[in-house]
Amino acid sequence: MAEEHTDRREKGILIMEELLAKVKMAFSSTFDIDPQSITPDSTPNDIPAWDSMGHVELASSLEHAFGVSFDVDDLMAMENVKEICRVVQSKLGKVQGVRV
């Protein structure tokens, strides 16, 4: 049983890494920046183009990348990359119980 739990956890971590990689690519395409410069703690203060209009463009890019739709509450919650991952994760409903 312990092996099964470890296996699920490893898959969850792998899935979260893939999710973060796709989020980074959305940032890269939206803001024309190096995806490696994005961390889970990145905020609009770290990315000059991430203003209110940039936020809308980023959300559109994320919706397209993940095949999800965001509502106003989702957009308001997306204050940093970690929260973006959390919102996308909740929309996808795939990586439950895995922390970013």
Q: What is the CATH number of the domain that holds 81?
A: 1.10.1200.10
| Overall domain count for the chain | 1
Domain that holds residue 20: 2-92
Would residue 98 count as lying in a domain? Answer: no
Q: Where are the alpha helices (DSSP H) in 1-100?
A: 2-31, 52-66, 72-77, 81-92
Measure the CA–CA gap between 24 and 1, rounded to whole angstroms: 35
How many Å apart are CA 75 and CA 47, to the nearest integer? 17
Structure tokens at 1: 């049983």
Nearest to 93 by CA among 8, 12, 6, 7: 12
Q: Domain for residue 55, yes or no?
A: yes
- Along the 100 residues of the chain, how does pLDDT read in single tens digits? 444 444 444 555 658 889 999 999 999 999 999 999 999 999 999 999 999 999 999 999 999 999 999 999 999 999 999 999 999 999 988 444 445 4
pTM of the model: 0.79
